[in-house]
Amino acid sequence: MTATLDEQDLQQGFEDVIAADQRIEPRDWMPEAYRKTLVRQIAQHAHSEIIGMQPEGNWILRAPSLRRKAILLAKVQDEAGHGMYLYAAAETLGVDREELTEKLISGRQKYSSIFNYPTLSYADVGVIGWLVDGAAICNQVPLCRCSYGPYARAMIRICKEESFHQRQGYELLLAMVNGTDAQREMVQESTNRFWWPSLMMFGPPDADSPNTSQSMGWGIKRHTNDELRQRFVDMTVPQAEALGITLPDPDLRWNAERGHYDFSEPDWSELKAVISGSGPCNAQRLAHRRRAHEDGAWVRDAAAAYAAKHGGSR
Ligand SMILES: [Fe+2]
Ligand SMILES: [Fe+2]
């Protein structure tokens, strides 16, 4: 049998697994483009979890009570855990976490645009839990069925924790909207700032998202950006009503014919600017991550020396 035939068999085997909606595992043959797409997506996801600790971490020392501090600490620690699972999932594809971290801090790999916005009040902690973790859930629940096994399995645990994150955010907002006028205004002001960036978390509109169809063909992605964005809007509007908060879109209304809410287009030029590095906090977020990585060098060195002494590989 020639090498070309072998390759064809392998390709066919891969396609059969995808067509049967089964999982590709690290030991299985996979096309190089599939592997690269997954590395990029999982790395970007892992980086988002890690960078995403910063906006809320900003408020840990200023939490208004011990209870709020304990909740926020637990939430931010969960995000670190998500980053670790995801780097481990990426490593099953033959890349190294150190290499991915280098790419993040040198700006060669991206993370979610949402974390380049500042957190200006404690209401932002609630609104991030409600809207940002809420959008993350919409994006991530379908990834539990991703064709790549290690990623799909990591997402199951992560989604359970994201659901706790969304509830803790909503619970904080419920307390605030039942508080003083000033607290209600804080929630409204924060919602006004985070609404559009949350809609942008689903990525550009489908017409401007050339990789979506290939990712869907491979069973990595299950829904388009616009489908997920619509799902998020439909889920969020009744929650805003329950809070007595107005979402900052005058054209937001129920469309009985479609069975969905109509809503306005976000400003896509803003998304492009934030992704390309010109968001309000891009430089600050990367500088902070770079500094933390440098400060942690001695821990990595010590762990490597310990492993070498005790016969481990690292
Ligand atoms: Fe997370
Ligand atoms: Fe989260």
The predicted-structure confidence for 184-220, as pLDDT tens digits, reads as follows 999 999 999 999 999 999 999 999 998 899 999 999 9
Q: What is the mean pLDDT of residues 46-69?
A: 97
Separation of CA 177 and ligand 2 centre (Å): 22
Percent of the chain with pLDDT over 70: 98
Among all bound ligands, the one having the nearest atom to the CA of 134 is: 2
Among all bound ligands, the one having the nearest atom to the CA of 47 is: 1
Among all bound ligands, the one having the nearest atom to the CA of 49 is: 1
Say how far apart CA 50 and CA 15 lie, in whole Å.
34
pLDDT grade, residue 49 (50/70/90)?
very high
Separation of CA 188 and ligand 2 centre (Å): 21
Separation of CA 1 and ligand 1 centre (Å): 47
Using the predicted structure, report yes or no on whether residue 71 has a pLDDT greater than 90: yes
Separation of CA 204 and ligand 2 centre (Å): 22
Q: Which of 167, 157, 141, 153 is nearest to 75 (CA)?
A: 167
pLDDT for res 2: 56
> Buried (b) or exposed (e) across 211-241, using 16+ Cβ within 10 A?
ebeebeebbbbbbbbbebbbbbbeebbebbe
The sign of the dihedral angle between the CA atoms of 140, 145, 147, 152 is positive
Separation of CA 259 and ligand 2 centre (Å): 29
Separation of CA 79 and ligand 2 centre (Å): 6
Among all bound ligands, the one having the nearest atom to the CA of 46 is: 1
Cβ atoms within 10 Å, residue 171: 14
Q: What is the mean pLDDT of residues 19-31?
A: 96
Element (H, E) at 255: strand 253-255
**Can you give the pTM of this predicted structure?**
0.94
pLDDT top residue among 7 and 165: 165
pLDDT grade, residue 6 (50/70/90)?
confident
Using the predicted structure, report yes or no on whether residue 1 has a pLDDT greater than 70: no
Quick: pLDDT tens for 261-312.
Answer: 999 999 999 999 999 999 999 999 999 999 999 999 999 999 999 999 997 6
Tokens of 296: 């942690």
Q: What is the mean pLDDT of the chain?
A: 95
pLDDT for res 307: 93
260, with CB counted inside 10 A (0-12, 13-18, 19+), is middle
pLDDT for res 248: 98
SS3 260: strand
Separation of CA 136 and ligand 1 centre (Å): 8
pLDDT grade, residue 144 (50/70/90)?
very high
Residue 262 backbone dihedrals phi, psi, to 5 degrees: -85, 145
Separation of CA 165 and ligand 2 centre (Å): 5
Separation of CA 103 and ligand 1 centre (Å): 20
